[in-house]
Amino acid sequence: MAVSPPSPTAWFVYLLRCQDTTFYCGIAKDLNRRLDEHNSADKGAKYTRGRRPVELVYTEEAASRAQATQREGQIKRMTRAEKMALIQTVAVK
């Protein structure tokens, strides 16, 4: 299945699986850069710093930062089982 390239103004909501199998949800404009930051020295979120390496397991595109932030909140309120079911719906490249 071909995926169209994101628009230059797109924001992404992403879900990471940490080394301790917990999940971390965030938003970013550049997913590759943000994943590198999560796995590097000082730039990652405080939560992920002690749980490296982290693996990108889910992404979805949002049209604006506001929409991405709203969706991030929805995902953060999901149970672990709901997050795992969400991950099953989409294959990450």
Q: What are the pLDDT digits (tens) for 2-32?
A: 445 556 679 999 999 999 999 999 999 999 9
pTM of the model: 0.84
High-pLDDT (> 90) share of the chain, %:
70
Q: Which residue in 18, 27, 92 sits closest to 64, CA to CA?
A: 27
Residue pair 19/52 in contact (Cβ under 8 Å)? The answer is yes
Mean pLDDT value across residues 63-86: 96
For the chain, domain boundaries = 11-89
Q: What is the pLDDT of residue 70?
A: 97
Fold classification of 11-89 is GIY-YIG endonuclease (3.40.1440)
Q: Give the integer Cα–Cα distance in Å for 69 and 27.
A: 7
Residue pair 63/44 in contact (Cβ under 8 Å)? The answer is no
Mean pLDDT value across residues 56-62: 95
CB atoms near residue 38 (< 10 Å): 25
- In sequence order, what are the beta bridge partners of 25? 15
| Residue reference for tokens 């938003």 | 27
